[in-house]
A and B are shown apart, each in its own frame.
Chain A
């Protein structure tokens, strides 16, 4: 009887229309009309506290670059013995950095449409636009005199670019079998020690069952043929490089948004066998299943990250250090630019960190290197990519300030530019 009563009560709660006496007097207080109940859309935030909303809005960088005197150089901090200076300013939305064989530095855009070249001309640094009108041209690679540019849906190549900066050749498309999507729809590319081109194809969503063509890293021949999936279950990677000794492929990966302030963390991953699955959208950080997509799955099915890089910290460009300028403790360490969080009320990241590895390629330590881009929970700049010059100094791009910085070690012993 008690059980029956409970069932009836539950029915009344679920179906309030039953509460109106059938055929009798209308209730003294009419029931309020049924309100359509919003249901959660997968991957959308459900945050009851409206006051934190504006702290979680995505952050748009200014479309116009800062002038050189506005750049945040005085606020930036480095370990003892290192110095930072402006390498180039006036590059709105400066993203990926690549170095040409003859010393030209190439800089890409993500939100804007240009690719720049910074070249030395009679001892003076000159900034040139070498391509414009492009569609999210974030990805750059340089190989045997040619610059490869990856836009949203294609990869093109500009042959002998460094000899023709004043009159760049027309880009020739080498690969265009790429899905067109806005979310994570920009690309990152690199050319490996195997002379193959690697490209990220991110998930077209925050969290979803991705289409077969997405959430992966592909590799292909330099002419665009022979494309295959190299890594699966990758939500979005906007930085990768090969270990100088083991030649293993390491990549940074962004974790999903709107789960919590502290979870999941972004990741550093390593591919030890082509075709490995890194967990998206089912498992995060190698330790827990997704609250929407993870039911019926286990993290044991997937590769685990080699390092956790901080919640929502937005790990982007990374390079192994093989130069001679920095102290030997940095040899073969990975420098990683963290763009900084937006999906977190207290911002983290907005720095360059250094990850040191053990002989077996596992991670030994992770420490801050270049910091100071977050002041009073606001960005004054946002690092995107790192690139080493031939002298061993390090360039860092900043898509918020629209600039490229240069980090040197050695103070007075370093010759003036």
Chain B
């Protein structure tokens, strides 16, 4: 029997956090993500093109329209605030230079809010960003297109740690 939409969304937020801001390590915040990006990920989970068992189980058997309405609803959650606490200016500066060099803000936009198929990065959990970047780099996370694998081909592990540090804190 089809579950009502709000019950489904509530189930998502058990892990992804109240209002779409995750409090669990390596689980991404969903607030402020573009609906199209969310739909692509939900689709890839349903088809097991992206393998994360809990997400594959959650999306199994959902119809195309159920995926669409889930994505549209979750996209309306507010963006997560940037990570607080003291910051290391040297790391921020290194990350800024990398971003300039690799043109990250070309697709992710100058405020890192993402658009269409490109995810929001601003205020994302740092540990999740590190995990995602590493998985794109070593091909363990299958991306929908090749953009991130292309970019990460030229970025070292040390550099991607700086990128995640910056993006989690960017205002």
Q: Which A residues lie at the B interface, using CB under 8 A? A: 35-36, 38-41, 44-45, 50, 53-54, 56-58, 60, 62-64, 111-113, 133, 180, 182-185, 205-206
Contact among A54, A63, A133 with B43 in the assembled complex (CB-CB below 8 Å): A63
Contact among A44, A53, A60, A64 with B68 in the assembled complex (CB-CB below 8 Å): A64
Alpha-carbon distance A301/B117, docked complex (angstroms): 41
Alpha-carbon distance A38/B103, docked complex (angstroms): 11
Q: What is the number of residues of chain B that contact chain A, defined by CB distance less than 8 Å?
A: 37
Complex interface: chain B residues within 8 A of A57 (CB): 106-107, 115-116, 118
User: Measured between C-beta atoms, what is the minimum distance from B22 to chain A in Å?
Assistant: 24
Tell me whether A44 and B39 are in contact (CB under 8 A).
no
Closest to B152 in A: A182
- Contact flag A44-B102 (CB < 8 Å), given A36-B93, A63-B39, A111-B144: yes
User: Measured between C-beta atoms, what is the minimum distance from A245 to chain B in Å?
Assistant: 38
Closest 4 CB pairs of A and B: A182-B149, A60-B117, A182-B146, A63-B43
The answer, yes or no, to whether B1 is at the interface (CB within 8 Å) is no
Alpha-carbon distance A40/B100, docked complex (angstroms): 9
Tell me whether B115 and A63 are in contact (CB under 8 A).
no
User: Measured between C-beta atoms, what is the minimum distance from A150 to chain B in Å?
Assistant: 17
The answer, yes or no, to whether B147 is at the interface (CB within 8 Å) is yes
Instruction: Give B133-171 as 1s and 0s: 1 = Cβ < 8 Å from A's Cβ atoms.
Output: 000000100011111011001100000000000000000
Among B44-52, B77-85, B121-129, the one that faces the other chain is B44-52
Complex interface: chain B residues within 8 A of A39 (CB): 101
User: Measured between C-beta atoms, what is the minimum distance from A202 to chain B in Å?
Assistant: 11
Tell me whether B100 and A38 are in contact (CB under 8 A).
yes
Q: Which B residues lie at the A interface, using CB under 8 A? A: 36, 39-40, 43-44, 47-49, 64, 67-68, 93-94, 97, 100-103, 105-107, 109-110, 115-118, 139, 143-147, 149-150, 153-154
Contact among A45, A63, A133, A180 with B103 in the assembled complex (CB-CB below 8 Å): A45
Contact among A36, A58, A112 with B97 in the assembled complex (CB-CB below 8 Å): A36
Contact among B49, B93, B115, B139 with A112 in the assembled complex (CB-CB below 8 Å): B49
Complex interface: chain B residues within 8 A of A53 (CB): 105-106, 109-110
Complex interface: chain A residues within 8 A of B147 (CB): 58
Tell me whether A63 and B144 are in contact (CB under 8 A).
yes
User: Measured between C-beta atoms, what is the minimum distance from B89 to chain A in Å?
Assistant: 10
Tell me whether B145 and A113 are in contact (CB under 8 A).
no
Tell me whether B106 and A205 are in contact (CB under 8 A).
no
Tell me whether B106 and A45 are in contact (CB under 8 A).
yes
Give 5 new A-B contacts, CB below 8 A, not counting A44-B102, A57-B115.
Answer: A44-B103, A45-B106, A53-B109, A54-B115, A57-B106
What are 11 A-to-B residue pairs whose CB atoms are below 8 Å?
Answer: A39-B101, A41-B102, A53-B110, A56-B106, A58-B107, A58-B145, A62-B36, A113-B47, A182-B143, A182-B153, A206-B150
Alpha-carbon distance A63/B145, docked complex (angstroms): 11
Alpha-carbon distance A45/B49, docked complex (angstroms): 30
Complex interface: chain A residues within 8 A of B103 (CB): 44-45
Tell me whether B97 and A205 are in contact (CB under 8 A).
no
User: Measured between C-beta atoms, what is the minimum distance from B29 to chain A in Å?
Assistant: 22
Complex interface: chain B residues within 8 A of A180 (CB): 139
Closest to A36 in B: B97
User: Measured between C-beta atoms, what is the minimum distance from A340 to chain B in Å?
Assistant: 15
Contact among A44, A184, A205 with B101 in the assembled complex (CB-CB below 8 Å): A44
Tell me whether A112 and B47 are in contact (CB under 8 A).
yes
Closest to B100 in A: A38
Closest to B67 in A: A64
Complex interface: chain A residues within 8 A of B105 (CB): 53
Complex interface: chain B residues within 8 A of A41 (CB): 101-102, 154
Complex interface: chain A residues within 8 A of B100 (CB): 38
Alpha-carbon distance A56/B106, docked complex (angstroms): 8
Contact among A111, A113, A182 with B150 in the assembled complex (CB-CB below 8 Å): A182
